[in-house]
Amino acid sequence: MSDYTKLLEFNRPQYVKDLNVSREIEQGVVKVWLRLSSEESLHLVGFDDLAESISNLIQAERAIISKENSSGKEYGTIRIECWVEESYSEFFCDSAYQTNSTSFV
């Protein structure tokens, strides 16, 4: 079982306040910037799995975004867990950047 470090977590009544998405067609890269009602924010970079997670993040009653520790993997190390109504979904992307820090994690 993998070990993860939590980067961002929210539960209702917190919610995704702002969300910006861009896609680089040539490379298929998806970039997502989200800000919570608590003003915490995070940039995410990935491909199709990240694109699929967007609607779940907006609707989530609870969400956890975390980084896999010491996996040796280059891609897919950021896990996005969402709870919407009574369903659980898990998505992965390649990197996350917290706006209050200066480096990708």
Angle, alpha carbons 10-43-62 (nearest 5°): 15
What is the pLDDT, as a whole number, of residue 104? Answer: 45
What is the pLDDT, as a whole number, of residue 1? Answer: 61
**In sequence order, what are the residues at sequence separation of 6 or more whose Cβ sits closer than 8 angstroms to the Cβ of residue 1?**
none
Residue with tokens 């993998």: 2
What is the pLDDT, as a whole number, of residue 37? Answer: 85
**E strand intervals along 1-105:** 4-11, 16-24, 29-36, 41-46, 62-68, 78-84, 87-93, 95-98
Q: Where are the domains of the chain?
A: 4-98
105 residues of the chain, pLDDT tens digit each: 679 999 999 998 888 889 999 998 888 899 999 998 888 899 999 998 999 999 999 999 999 999 999 878 888 999 999 999 999 999 999 999 887 544 444
